[in-house]
Every structure is written in C-alpha cells, then in structure tokens.
C-alpha cells in the first residue's frame, strides 16, 4: 500500500509539471504584435484629433477588401470600436458602449502576462488564434460620441427618451495611419420599450427598467451605424444581426 501511494503522488507531480507555458510560442508574435498595438494607438490619437464631421465624407476605393466578420474572402480584418478604447490600453470602462470590439486587449494581456483569463486550457493553437485576433485587423471604423442624453425611467411604466449622436471614421492601421473619412449618425429612444423586470425585488426591477431603455437606444444606434456603413461600403462583409 505504501509503494502504491508514492507511485500515485509521483504521477500527479509529473502531470502537474507538464502544464503548458505559452511564453515560448508567444515570442514569434511579439514584434509584429507590438508594432500593431503602436499602430492602433496612433490611429486612435489621429481620429481623436479630427474635428467633428459636419457631412458624410466616407470614401474607400475597394470596399470588398473589408471584412467586419469572418467570410469567404478570409478572416475578419476590420472592426468597429469606440475611440476611447484605442487610446487607453488600461481598458476604459465605457458603461454606455454602443459597439464593443475590444479586439486588442486580450492579445495584449496574453503577450504581457503569459496567460489569458478567458482561456484556462491554453495551448499553441489557441495562442495562435488569440494573437491573430489582433494581427489580422487592418482597418477600424472608429466611433466618436459627441452627444449623449441617457433615457430616464419615471415610475414603473414611463420613461423620458434619450438621444445619442456622433460620427464614425474609417482608418487603415499603419505606422502613419490613413484616414478615409466617415459619416455622421444620430439615434433616439423608441416610443415604447419592453422591459422584463424582477417581480419580487424592487431595486432589481428598477435596474432592469433602466437597462432596458438604455439597451433600446444603444441597439438602435448600433443598427444605424451598421446600415450607414453598409451603404457607404458596398461589397464589404458585415455580420448579419438584423
């Protein structure tokens, strides 16, 4: 019995010692990833410095090159993202985010820390997949919010409508980012909103109502942004949400 016990413990130690360490496999991605992160930050600063649009100016010669989702032409190479998320790599908390594509933060953390909190069973294949989420992106449609009036819930069955407006700028990632203009967008709350609330928790029910009216406005804005982008970039590949 004693020998068997020691054999079992030894086997557990051997298994534990085989835990995958991604640091070696990450090295082949380090230089291009650091270059891409620098390009992202430069693009964010360039877009931030532009004056607000007063007219739609988006022009891109070959829209078919743009893939906002994986498609027949290849993996996703374009994203829609808030400008603030490009100039604060600590992870700006935008509580009223219209579109959330923080494509660069998870690869950056993996490169920096050697681990991915969302992928506990990491292996070489997953390292490659995660890093290409960053490296494959060549274009960004960057959202800038110029105005936001949050909807406010009044009582149990009424709310004051909100409004949100801004612009979206298309840029190409490079050591010197290229800007292709953009378009304006503006949206407001629906006249009625369906809110499913917690029946036995008054505080939770109030939060549910508030979340419902905010989600309504943001989803309408996201839909309009996608529709305007599709109209301006005919031939680009977009995800199908609506």
Q: What is the pTM of this model?
A: 0.86
CB 121 within 8 A of CB 180: no
Q: 3-state SS string over the chain?
A: CHHHHHHHHHHHHHHHCCCCCCHHHHHHHHHHHHHHHHHHHHHHHHHHHCCCCCCCCCCCCCHHHCECCCECCECCCEEEEECHHHHCCCCCCCCCCCCCCCCCHHHHHHHHHCCCCCCCCCCHHHHHHHHHHHHCCCEEEEEEEEEEECCEEECCCEEECCEEEEEEEEEECCCCCEEEEEEEEEEECCCCCCCCCCCCCHHHHHHHHHHHHHHHHHHHHHHHHHHHHHHHCCCCECCCCC
Chain centroid to Cα 19, Å, comes to 30
* C-alpha angle 21-25-26 in degrees, rounded to nearest 5: 95
Q: What is the mean pLDDT of the chain?
A: 87
CB 185 within 8 A of CB 167: yes
- Mean pLDDT is lowest, of 94-98, 143-147, 160-164, for 94-98
Give the model's confidence band at 121: pLDDT under 50 very low, under 70 low, under 90 confident, else very high.
confident
Cβ atoms < 10 Å from Cβ of 218? 18
Read off the pLDDT of residues 79-112 as tens digits, 9 standing for 90 and up: 999 998 887 666 555 556 787 788 998 999 999 8
Query: What pLDDT sits at residue 203?
Result: 86
Give the model's confidence band at 5: pLDDT under 50 very low, under 70 low, under 90 confident, else very high.
very low
Which has more pLDDT, 94 or 159? Answer: 159
Residue 232 has pLDDT above 80, yes or no: yes
Residue 177 has pLDDT above 70, yes or no: yes
CB 39 within 8 A of CB 46: no
Integer Cα distance of 159 and 47 in angstroms: 35
């Amino acid at each position: 019995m004693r020998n068997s016990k020691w054999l079992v413990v030894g086997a557990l130690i051997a298994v534990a010692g085989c835990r995958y360490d991604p640091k070696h496999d990450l090295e082949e991605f380090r230089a291009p990833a650091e270059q891409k992160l620098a390009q992202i930050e430069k693009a964010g600063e360039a877009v931030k410095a532009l004056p607000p649009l007063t007219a739609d100016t988006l022009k891109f010669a070959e829209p078919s090159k743009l893939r906002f989702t994986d498609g027949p032409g290849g993996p996703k190479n374009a994203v829609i993202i808030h400008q603030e998320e490009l100039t604060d790599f600590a992870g700006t908390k935008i509580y009223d985010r219209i579109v959330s594509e923080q494509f660069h933060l998870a690869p950056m953390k993996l490169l920096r820390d050697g681990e991915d909190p969302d992928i506990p069973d990491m292996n070489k294949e997953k390292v490659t997949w995660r890093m290409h989420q960053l490296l494959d992106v060549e274009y960004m449609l960057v959202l800038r919010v110029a105005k936001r009036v949050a909807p406010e819930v009044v009582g149990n069955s009424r709310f004051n409508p909100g409004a949100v407006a801004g612009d979206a700028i298309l840029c190409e990632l490079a050591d010197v980012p290229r800007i292709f203009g953009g378009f304006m967008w503006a949206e407001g709350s629906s006249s009625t909103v369906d809110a499913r609330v917690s029946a036995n928790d008054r505080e939770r029910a109030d939060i549910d109502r508030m979340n419902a009216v905010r989600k309504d406005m943001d989803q309408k804005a996201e839909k309009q942004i996608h529709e305007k982008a599709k109209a301006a970039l005919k031939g680009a590949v977009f995800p199908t949400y609506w």
